[in-house]
Amino acid sequence: MTTDHAADIDHAADIDRHVRIYITVFVALMALTIVTVAISRFHLPVPMAITVAMLVATIKGSLVACYFMHLISEKKLIYAVLVLTGAFFLALLALPVLTVHDGYWIH
């Protein structure tokens, strides 16, 4: 067996392992979607409902990002880009919160 051939087999085994993970993640995403809808049927108080819904959505989003988008094994530069994006994204989401104190800084 040549070294290249051995590497090819390793590569094929690696892809097979990835495919098994994709299927597991797929099942988890389906289940979590059903969970999201089921929880909404309980008509929880709004703050609690938002917290739970966003928690489940974050878990689902993380699964997609980590496994389908391969972020779990990405290069440092991609992580750096995402950290920077995340910081700006959070700042953007925080802007409406600052409006609660509208005029506070002026007076």
Partner 1 sequence: MDIPYTVEVRRDTGLTNGKIGIWLFLASEVMLFGALFASYILIRTGAETWPRGDTILNVPLATFNTLVLISSSVTMVMSWASLKRGRFGTFRLYMGTTILLGCVFLLVKYFEYSHKFESGLYPSTNNFLAIYFTLTGLHMLHVFGGMVVNAYFWGPGSKLWKTNPEWFANRVEHAGLFWHFVDLVWIFLFPTLYLL
- Give me the least distance between CB of 47 and partner 1, in Å please: 10
Sequence-ordered list of residues with C-beta below 8 angstroms from that of 59, at least 6 positions apart, any chain: 32
Site string for partner 1, 28-67 (x = CB under 8 A): -xx--x--xx--x-----x--xx--xx-xx--xx--xx--
**The Cα angle at residue 67 between residues 61 and 70, in degrees rounded to 5:** 110
* Burial of 88 from C-beta contacts in 10 A (0-12 / 13-18 / 19+): exposed
Largest Cα separation within the chain, whole Å, is 80
Per CB under 8 A, residues contacting partner 1 are 11-12, 15, 18-19, 22-23, 25-26, 29-30, 33, 36-37, 40, 46, 49-50, 53-54, 56-57, 60-61, 64-65, 68-69, 75-78, 81-82, 84-85, 88-89, 92-93, 95-96, 99
